[in-house]
Structure 1
């Protein structure tokens, strides 16, 4: 597949004079296709997950439990990105870690495809572990294709790679969602396994085009560190086995014995990581100041993702029960709503890039803080919009599909304002000591947001009630306004970062 998309560089002797993928190193084709198929499998399964959990032919759980499971699963994927990066840096190297990750994800989807509720949660766990292993390492390998940060093709390469993510995310609900909802749930999960299998196969076949550095373990563990790590892992695993065995034998085991600890970890670990970095005495005064500013961005981002990621749970469950999922009389599967965001990203991202460049030339481009605050306000506005279909449904009517599309559109615009800025500011404000870890810290904002949603659901809060939705919307708007009001204070803490 990769070779059919490659071509010779137009100008010999320039960067990329070898066989290329749209002017980029051929290895980008391998990573592009791997990520596209991995996202195809991930977003296809994710589109089916909340619907399967509540369906009479699925697990027939309540909406609150389904939202909690979904939120815990998504928070785990991002939480495990940090240890996934650690494995790439210290144990296997990026290339081997991604190969193992692909196999684990495929095994997880195959486990989900089994017609047994007893193996379902094991399958979810395997997909989460594999996604965590893959997430950080495949991005690292994209960077390794280019000779240093000054390679003029570097930014464009990540843009092409990002398109692979959205292509997979767009196609998945349309294909996997249709089969899962209309034919058989487990066949849908099996298609997700097939997608990851295709991605893994072409990764192994095309890995010869990757940079040799991708096979190197940058900071291998010493024998003493390996022994210590294994000892600690065995200790914690032993404690968990004994604790859950005791609960099970006592007859008191329920699903909350798993959900509650995982959601609490999703909130506690991000706080612990930020506190550890902030209190590190090796950081100089300027780095300490930047970390103080970064906490503002982190907390605001956690609020953003808490609402944004409910597009796959709260909104999806609402659409399943209370929306008229049709256009001009033509009905479509509920999972198709999950394709709205990626297609809008692909359509609007170039527009936003052009707008920022045009405003920058005139000296009028909004600051990082203003973009961030605007994204936060917009995600709040999206939930104010959600109040309309909720009110329609409470009146005994089905809400029009366009209401949901409008909500996803507003959230996507907010994402384009906040997410790229968050990634950029994370790399710019990272202390030198934590330069390679800070991207994992940014992902922890997603973990904290989704874990908070999970805790609310476990506590019995109905996230489809107008009062709760209005409260979340108000929280996001107030947080956005607060970031904007204190922008001068945050700017002063950011030092030379803009």
Structure 2
């Protein structure tokens, strides 16, 4: 809860901090660059989750990995709380990317480790866990947003840091009492020879990346936008490499290879969905600040408060979806059909945003209900795609690559946001309607294509529901 409080609190005000003028306490970025930074930031957070899973399994164990991640996150927020300009921003991004990557993929596993295999409290435990995540995400934009935007951005970031500190204290003492000793050790520790290979491969990767950056510098093309482009290419190339490994490995059976092909279609749909959903903290955040009448029914709404809509609708919808799937039982739609339906809802959420722009133009301040409606629709899509995607990832994973296959779900979000980092630059007052319509058409077209592929994908899934 506290980790999500700190992350979503920071995220609720970060884009405003970046593009507000220096006289208003911001950094003075132009809005397109600020939106692009937000997107690549989110992409790198999910990309680093691959590293976090690896270090937990093979080096530190889950308990230590999560604690180190929390410390890095806390110091990342502390860096933002200091009025040190753009340098502090980029230091903060690096720390929070690494910290969240260490923490995020390992916490869920640790919740499962609290219970024995036959313990009937397991589902209730995960229910509490998910509620805590959404509670932190819901409260953070309200409190951090109010403090940061009403008084001082750095005070808001300080509150995010305090939240992570409270979480670390609770985790340290609670972990000693409740977590098993197994969580202190890696499940698949590196052998001495493996450590040497890992060091060599890491050094090669770092040197190669540094050489590319150096070449960009020598060619006079090293600037923030081009560096973001480089990171976008890395984020998109990473899942391509993973899929190539899965499909060509001799460790993968013929049936498992069919499963991977089936998952590829779902992965692409998920990446498109996340590209839309994650624009809530960039494109829709800009719309909330610039084109929304934030005086509604006698209430003054801070632009950062709209970030509460995501977890709010998740909390509202989840009981209904859980009851619906239980009621339908074996008659419920297949995973590909749920994905296809989710894509249509994702596209519809942006069709809603076309309407006020066409009706009132880009200079008018429109009702906040347009944003509320858009978020209400896209969160239906999330519940059709996100939990289903997690479930189907575990079912379609080749035995030899089960842990790495779980990383693919994070990489779908990373790839989607990497694409965002480039396309959000097209969001300008002059072409808002075209932007919303274009993104909506891509999502709806992907949904229709997915419907056409439901039967082939189900055949490739070979009996897996």
Give the TM-score category using the shorter length: over 0.9
> Could you tell me which residue of structure 1 aligns to residue 135 of structure 2?
167
User: Does the C-alpha gap of structure 1 residues 347 and 457 become closer, same or farther in structure 2, counting only changes over 3 Å?
Assistant: closer
> Could you tell me which residue of structure 1 aligns to residue 146 of structure 2?
178
> Could you tell me which residue of structure 1 aligns to residue 258 of structure 2?
289
1:141 counterpart (110, 118, 140):
110
Q: What is the 5 A alignment of 1:6-405? A: 36-56=1-21, 57=24, 58-117=26-85, 118-148=87-117, 150-208=118-176, 209-241=178-210, 244=213, 253-360=222-329, 364-392=331-359, 394=361, 396-405=363-372
Q: What is the 5 A alignment of 1:411-490? A: 411-457=378-424, 462=428, 465-490=432-457
User: Does the C-alpha gap of structure 1 residues 391 and 97 become closer, same or farther in structure 2, counting only changes over 3 Å?
Assistant: same
After superposing on structure 2, the runs of 4+ consecutive aligned residues of structure 1 that deviate more than 3 Å are 234-253, 460-464
CA contact (8 A) 1:40 1:171 kept: yes
Query: How far apart in 1 are the matches of 2:371 and 2:361?
Result: 16
CA contact (8 A) 1:392 1:398 kept: no
Equivalences, count: 459
CA contact (8 A) 1:53 1:66 kept: yes
User: Does the C-alpha gap of structure 1 residues 425 and 240 become closer, same or farther in structure 2, counting only changes over 3 Å?
Assistant: closer
CA contact (8 A) 2:62 2:183 kept: yes
Give secondary structure in 1 for the equivalent of 2:403.
coil
CA contact (8 A) 2:82 2:154 kept: yes
User: Does the C-alpha gap of structure 1 residues 489 and 240 become closer, same or farther in structure 2, counting only changes over 3 Å?
Assistant: closer
Shift of the alpha carbon at 1:124?
Answer: 1.0
User: Does the C-alpha gap of structure 1 residues 265 and 241 become closer, same or farther in structure 2, counting only changes over 3 Å?
Assistant: closer
CA contact (8 A) 1:180 1:187 kept: yes
CA contact (8 A) 2:259 2:462 kept: yes
| Alpha-carbon displacement from aligned partner over 1:348-369 (angstroms, at most 9, x marks no partner) | 1011111111222xx5322222
User: Does the C-alpha gap of structure 1 residues 393 and 43 become closer, same or farther in structure 2, counting only changes over 3 Å?
Assistant: farther
Give secondary structure in 2 for the equivalent of 1:388.
helix
User: Does the C-alpha gap of structure 1 residues 393 and 263 become closer, same or farther in structure 2, counting only changes over 3 Å?
Assistant: farther
Shift of the alpha carbon at 1:130?
Answer: 0.2
Q: TM-score, normalised by structure 2?
A: 0.94
Q: TM-score, normalised by structure 1?
A: 0.88
Which blocks of at least 5 consecutive residues in structure 2 are unaligned? Answer: none
Give secondary structure in 2 for the equivalent of 1:218.
coil
Which blocks of at least 5 consecutive residues in structure 1 are unaligned? Answer: 1-35
Shift of the alpha carbon at 1:461?
Answer: 5.8
Give secondary structure in 2 for the equivalent of 1:452.
helix
Query: How far apart in 1 are the matches of 2:214 and 2:228?
Result: 16
CA contact (8 A) 1:340 1:408 kept: yes
| Alpha-carbon displacement from aligned partner over 1:51-74 (angstroms, at most 9, x marks no partner) | 111212312222211111001000
Shift of the alpha carbon at 1:249?
Answer: 7.8
Give secondary structure in 2 for the equivalent of 1:400.
coil
